[in-house]
Amino acid sequence: MLIHGLKRLLGMIPVLFTVSILVFAFIKLMPGDPARIYAGADASLEAVEAARHTLGLDRPLPMQYFDWLASLAQGDLGVTYRTRQPVSEVIGASFMPSLWLALASFCWSALAGIALGVFAARRRGRWQDYGAMGLAVSGISLPPFWLGLLLIQFVAVPFGVFATSGFERPLDLVLPAITLGSAVAAVMARFTRSAYLEAANEDYVRTARAKGLTQRMVVWKHTMRNALIPIVTMLGLQFGFLLSGSIVIETVFSWPGLGWLLIESIKSQDQPVVQSLVLLFVTMFLVINLAVDLLYGVINPTVRHT
């Protein structure tokens, strides 16, 4: 497993290199003059040209890219054009709110989705099955931003218990976490039902029942243990979505996370922040996929990496 993990880590390098080229090219296509933004709206032409030289924007594009890559290798993400703060500090301040939101959304949506999926699978063809899957379809179909607005209008405002914006206390996590995790819970319910039914039809499950094992043993030791492999894969992908795909929800609740920071940076054409955030999102997806892959051997020892 260690060798497999090292191979996967090495395989991430060309992916990140390719993504860095695409991100750099995309940023250069953005409208606006970075030097003007850095120097200020009222800066003179001389000040703008001085800022252009300071930022290295007067160098050829290939040289600008390799300068940026060299800085990344040293852990230097540059400075923001708006506040002149180090980009690493700005992203670091927004990372924890996004992480807490993603963890809260992940915990409730994973537990609720898996439980609902198993509940529906064990009652296949009955009204409980149709009701649970109907609820899951509704969760997938409901636009998250609309659900967030509904929760603000009919829960936060009338009762005054939950905040409508910002993050100052743990209770402020409730409504954004419900909004962000609703679609994930629905996806996990449908996926868990399919994985459970597929595992339940395998020969080893029928053999376990023939041996006279209790229903609890058949469900949790034989059926769920094997059904968890595709479920964990989907959980990893969904956690990556929760961590980096919460832009709309963070905007609705004015949540001071990475998604909100990305939107604000795009609006203000703060290119170093946008570049670093996009590369960070891709890196997080790759790391999460690697962690999920390595978890296979923990969940099911019969899985061996080569």
**281 and 136 within one domain:** yes
Residue 139 lies in a domain: yes
**143 and 68 within one domain:** no
Residue 21 lies in a domain: yes
Q: What are phi and psi of 27, to 5 degrees?
A: -65, -40
CB 96 within 8 A of CB 175: no
CB contact set of 156 (below 8 Å; sequence gap of 6+): 162, 163, 164, 175
Domain total of the chain: 2
Residue 277 lies in a domain: yes
Rounded Cα distance between 241 and 183, Å, is 11
**179 and 290 within one domain:** yes
**149 and 16 within one domain:** no
Residue 180 lies in a domain: yes
pLDDT at 116: 94
Rounded Cα distance between 51 and 30, Å, is 18
pLDDT at 31: 77
Domain-ending residue, one of 27, 43, 73: 73
**125 and 59 within one domain:** no
pLDDT at 4: 65
pLDDT at 221: 67
pLDDT at 299: 61
Q: 248: closest CA among 176, 182, 187, 178?
A: 176
Domain-ending residue, one of 42, 73, 104: 73
Question: Which residue's structure tokens are 């995790």?
Answer: 181
CB 164 within 8 A of CB 241: no
pLDDT at 193: 92
CA 256 to chain centre: 16
Distances (CA, A) of 95 to 45, 266, 272, 304: 36, 17, 16, 35
∠ CA 173-179-180, nearest 5°, is 85
Regarding pTM above 0.75, the answer is: yes
**245 and 152 within one domain:** yes
pLDDT at 222: 65
Residue 78 lies in a domain: no
pLDDT at 174: 92
CB 255 within 8 A of CB 249: yes
**210 and 167 within one domain:** yes
- Burial (0-12, 13-18, 19+ Cβ within 10 Å), 161: exposed
Residue 14 structural domain: 2-73
Residue 229 lies in a domain: yes
**279 and 243 within one domain:** yes
**200 and 67 within one domain:** no
**51 and 140 within one domain:** no
pLDDT at 63: 92
pLDDT at 120: 93
Chunk the chain into consecutive blocks of 10 residues (it has 306) and report each block's average pLDDT, rounded to whole numbers. 72 86 86 82 84 87 90 88 89 92 93 92 90 88 87 88 85 92 91 87 73 70 74 81 78 89 87 90 84 69 55
Q: Read off the CATH number of the domain in which 149 is found.
A: 1.10.3720.10
